[in-house]
Amino acid sequence: MAEPVFTLDPRLAADSFEICTLENVQVRLMDDARYWWLVLVPEIDGAVEWHHLDETARHYLFDVATHAASVLENLAQADKMNIAALGNMVRQLHVHVIARHEGDAAWPGPVWGVGDALAYDAPPRAARAQSLKSLLMA
């Protein structure tokens, strides 16, 4: 029997750009230049809840989130790291990893629903994605 085909939720696809894949976890850059903001999406068809993953996948996703947070914290010189898996708007399992700065557009509250996203221009997006990719893949 064939493995189910993974399909990225269209809202995640529209709001972010793929940087790389670490084993079976897509690392995506949110299209909001106000924040250093990654979204991690395990390529597991039908995954909705982190605690429903098998032990190996659950631990690997945690390891990727930890690594992504360390990379963002250092690169962005963050004051605080936010890591969240909400899934109320997009049910597909995904984990937000956001480098926060005192005085950013949403500080000290959550980033969701605060103002309008500031879409990246292509050159800065490519530069940020490349610097993140090189550190994430190291």
Tokens of 53: 């993953």
Assess if residue 3 is contained within a domain.
no
Task: Return the CATH number at 107.
Answer: 3.30.428.10
Please state the pTM of the whole predicted model: 0.95
- Give residue 1's pLDDT: 62
Count structural domains, the chain.
1
Domain membership of residue 27 as a residue range: 10-125
Terminal-to-terminal C-alpha distance of the chain: 35
CB 18 within 8 A of CB 26: yes
Assess if residue 132 is contained within a domain.
no
Assess if residue 88 is contained within a domain.
yes
Nearest residue to 30 via CA among 116, 92, 89, 96: 96
Assess if residue 45 is contained within a domain.
yes
Assess if residue 66 is contained within a domain.
yes
Each of the 138 residues of the chain gets a pLDDT tens digit; together they read: 666 789 999 999 999 999 999 999 999 999 999 999 999 999 999 999 999 999 999 999 999 999 999 999 999 999 999 999 999 999 999 999 999 999 999 999 999 989 999 999 999 999 999 999 999 999
Assess if residue 56 is contained within a domain.
yes
CB 30 within 8 A of CB 40: no
Assess if residue 110 is contained within a domain.
yes
Assess if residue 137 is contained within a domain.
no
